[in-house]
Protein backbone atom coordinates (compact mmCIF):
# COMPACT_ATOMS: atom_id res chain seq x y z
CA UNK A 1 0.00 0.00 0.00
CA UNK A 2 1.13 3.56 -0.70
CA UNK A 3 -0.29 6.63 1.03
CA UNK A 4 0.12 10.20 -0.19
CA UNK A 5 0.23 12.90 2.50
CA UNK A 6 0.34 16.58 1.52
CA UNK A 7 3.26 18.17 3.31
CA UNK A 8 5.13 21.41 3.92
CA UNK A 9 8.50 19.62 3.82
CA UNK A 10 10.33 16.58 2.49
CA UNK A 11 10.60 14.50 5.69
CA UNK A 12 8.25 12.41 7.82
CA UNK A 13 8.58 15.01 10.59
CA UNK A 14 7.35 17.83 8.36
CA UNK A 15 3.92 19.30 9.16
CA UNK A 16 1.07 18.22 6.93
CA UNK A 17 -0.26 20.84 4.54
CA UNK A 18 -4.04 21.15 4.33
CA UNK A 19 -3.84 22.42 0.73
CA UNK A 20 -3.88 19.63 -1.82
CA UNK A 21 -3.16 21.45 -5.08
CA UNK A 22 -0.83 24.02 -3.57
CA UNK A 23 1.15 21.98 -1.03
CA UNK A 24 4.95 22.10 -1.50
CA UNK A 25 5.43 18.32 -1.30
CA UNK A 26 3.60 15.04 -1.69
CA UNK A 27 5.00 12.44 0.68
CA UNK A 28 4.47 8.93 -0.69
CA UNK A 29 4.70 6.57 2.30
CA UNK A 30 4.53 2.80 2.74
CA UNK A 31 2.68 2.57 6.07
CA UNK A 32 4.14 -0.85 6.89
CA UNK A 33 7.82 -0.01 6.47
CA UNK A 34 7.56 3.81 6.72
CA UNK A 35 9.81 4.07 3.68
CA UNK A 36 8.97 7.26 1.81
CA UNK A 37 9.58 9.38 -1.24
CA UNK A 38 9.17 13.16 -1.30
CA UNK A 39 7.77 14.47 -4.56
CA UNK A 40 7.96 18.22 -5.16
CA UNK A 41 4.58 19.59 -6.26
CA UNK A 42 5.37 21.24 -9.57
CA UNK A 43 1.85 22.68 -9.78
CA UNK A 44 2.01 24.49 -6.41
CA UNK A 45 2.61 27.85 -8.09
CA UNK A 46 0.40 27.33 -11.14
CA UNK A 47 -1.80 30.31 -11.99
CA UNK A 48 -4.78 27.98 -12.45
CA UNK A 49 -5.57 24.28 -12.55
CA UNK A 50 -3.24 23.36 -9.68
CA UNK A 51 -5.67 20.78 -8.28
CA UNK A 52 -6.07 18.94 -11.56
CA UNK A 53 -2.33 18.97 -12.26
CA UNK A 54 -1.57 17.77 -8.72
CA UNK A 55 -4.18 15.03 -9.06
CA UNK A 56 -2.62 13.78 -12.26
CA UNK A 57 0.80 13.69 -10.56
CA UNK A 58 -0.66 11.62 -7.72
CA UNK A 59 -2.54 9.25 -10.01
CA UNK A 60 0.75 8.57 -11.83
CA UNK A 61 2.46 7.52 -8.57
CA UNK A 62 0.01 4.66 -8.02
CA UNK A 63 -1.01 5.62 -4.49
CA UNK A 64 -3.93 3.92 -2.76
CA UNK A 65 -5.15 6.85 -0.65
CA UNK A 66 -4.55 10.61 -0.23
CA UNK A 67 -4.44 12.28 3.19
CA UNK A 68 -4.93 16.04 2.98
CA UNK A 69 -7.24 18.88 3.99
CA UNK A 70 -8.95 20.98 1.35
CA UNK A 71 -9.47 19.48 -2.09
CA UNK A 72 -11.23 21.33 -4.89
CA UNK A 73 -14.03 19.76 -6.92
CA UNK A 74 -11.88 19.17 -10.02
CA UNK A 75 -9.22 17.36 -7.98
CA UNK A 76 -11.92 15.31 -6.23
CA UNK A 77 -13.29 14.31 -9.62
CA UNK A 78 -9.85 13.41 -11.01
CA UNK A 79 -8.85 11.36 -7.96
CA UNK A 80 -12.31 9.76 -7.83
CA UNK A 81 -12.05 8.70 -11.47
CA UNK A 82 -8.83 6.89 -10.53
CA UNK A 83 -10.54 5.29 -7.49
CA UNK A 84 -8.20 7.03 -5.05
CA UNK A 85 -9.99 7.82 -1.78
CA UNK A 86 -9.41 11.19 -0.10
CA UNK A 87 -9.04 11.23 3.68
CA UNK A 88 -9.18 14.39 5.79
CA UNK A 89 -8.94 15.37 9.43
CA UNK A 90 -5.27 14.61 10.08
CA UNK A 91 -3.10 16.97 12.06
CA UNK A 92 0.53 17.19 13.10
CA UNK A 93 3.36 15.74 11.04
CA UNK A 94 3.31 13.37 8.07
CA UNK A 95 4.25 10.58 10.48
CA UNK A 96 1.32 11.56 12.75
CA UNK A 97 -1.07 11.47 9.78
CA UNK A 98 0.07 7.95 8.84
CA UNK A 99 -0.42 6.76 12.43
CA UNK A 100 -3.86 8.40 12.60
CA UNK A 101 -4.84 6.66 9.36
CA UNK A 102 -3.54 3.27 10.50
CA UNK A 103 -5.47 3.54 13.78
CA UNK A 104 -8.73 4.38 11.97
CA UNK A 105 -9.01 7.92 13.34
CA UNK A 106 -9.45 9.56 9.92
CA UNK A 107 -12.57 9.60 7.77
CA UNK A 108 -12.85 9.29 4.01
CA UNK A 109 -14.53 12.29 2.42
CA UNK A 110 -17.78 11.91 0.54
CA UNK A 111 -17.46 12.85 -3.10
What's the total number of domains in the chain? 1
Give me the domain span that covers residue 61: 3-108
> Among candidates 63, 68, 62, which has minimal Cα distance to 107?
68
Band the pLDDT of 46: cuts 50, 70, 90. Answer: confident
Q: Residue 106: what are its φ and ψ, rounded to 5°?
A: -105, 150
**How distant, in Å, are the alpha carbons of 1, 51, 65 from that of 48?**
31, 8, 24
pLDDT for 70: 86
**What CATH number corresponds to the domain at position 68?**
3.30.420.130
Are 67 and 107 contacting, i.e. CB atoms less than 8 angstroms apart? no
Rounded to the nearest 10 degrees, how much is the dihedral formed by the CA atoms of 16, 72, 81, 32? Answer: 10
- Tens-digit pLDDT profile for residues 68-99: 988 889 999 999 999 999 998 899 999 999 99
pTM, whole model, 2 decimals? 0.93
Amino acid sequence: MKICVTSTGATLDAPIDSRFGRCPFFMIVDPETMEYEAISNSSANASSGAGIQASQTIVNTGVDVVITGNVGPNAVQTLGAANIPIVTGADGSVNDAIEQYKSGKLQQTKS
